Amino acid sequence: MTNFGPIVTAMVTPFNDDGTVNYKQAVELMDYLIQNKSSTILLTGTTGECPTLSHDEEYELYQLAVKYFKGKVNLMAGTGSNCTKTAITSTQMAQEIGMDSILQVVPYYNKPCQQGIYNHFRAIADATDCPIMIYNIPGRTGVNMTAETVKKCASISNIVALKEAAGSVEQMKEFRAICPIDFHIYSGDDGLTLEFMKEGASGVVSVASHLAGKQIHDMIAAFNNNDITTANALDKILQPLFDVLFITSNPIPVKAALKLIGFNCGTTRPPLMAITEEQNQQVESVLDAFLEKV
């Protein structure tokens, strides 16, 4: 197992009513996530609304994470960009601040070829000592990494893991078969966590762990202990929650759900919109049903 552990929580970025970052709430949320079985906290990823954060806001979040939680949990910085130079600069700053690891997404919008993707990750890896998790999410980037590209990236010493979010168990199996055993693959979709584990995944980069960290932890632990019956039963309980957190663009539903359990993380920044009343009722209904079962 890598030092990322089984549950990487892609944390939301809390905002105040005026749209500024609520750093106090961010620290409180990090503490809560650690108490609820997150083994890694990922800041400024997709769920953290990285496209609408300034670099100064990102660096302030990293500084607070290092100040309060260094050594208590693995701290991962989402420093990806569709500009290789920018990704390198952000990665080096995160390392300088003291973050433990890095998430690097396939360059989006530019739609580079497979060699271009490899060159991008190679340049970033050469510029840092931090372990890197690369991130394949073709639904957002417009490009899907091939197994050969993943294998080439896995040969780079500090590229140690993949977050795979193409939504395909078959593709994950292809990646697992071609990559070294010590290269770790994480599900990028909560709903596929157990299916990915059955095919050799190490864990999940999760949104639902904001609300169900202990239950996801128990599901993974049961699977790792060969208690497949318990793992399947927990997965069945968790699936409605996994589904409702993606009824509209992430992180709109999870921020609404967090408010329902006492964390007012504000709304999302434009161009994302606030949750509708109908959507909020769906989230509340599913969350209530989940909490009754656990």
Distance CA 36, CA 119 (A): 38
Q: How far is CA 189 from the centre of its chain?
A: 9
Q: Give the span between the Cα atoms of 270 and 64, in whole angstroms.
A: 25
223 vs 194: CA distance, rounded Å? 8
DSSP character at residue 189:
S
**23 tagged catalytic:** no
Considering only CA atoms, which of 8, 16, 3 is closest in space to residue 187?
A: 8
| 111 catalytically annotated | no
| Catalytic entry in 135, 152, 186, 255 | 135
Rounded CA-CA distance 234/218 in Å is 8
Quote the tokens at residue 80.
């990806």
**Which residue's structure tokens are 């993949």?**
162
Cα–Cα distance for residue pair 173/16, rounded to 1 Å: 42
Cβ pair 164, 202 in contact under 8 A:
no
Tell me the C-alpha distance between 58 and 88, whole Å.
15
**Catalytic pick among 37, 62, 118, 163:** 163
Q: Which two tokens stand for residue 151?
A: 């294998």
Contact, 244 vs 283, CB < 8 A? Answer: yes
CA distance 284 to 290: 10
Q: Please identify every residue annotated as catalytic.
A: 135, 163
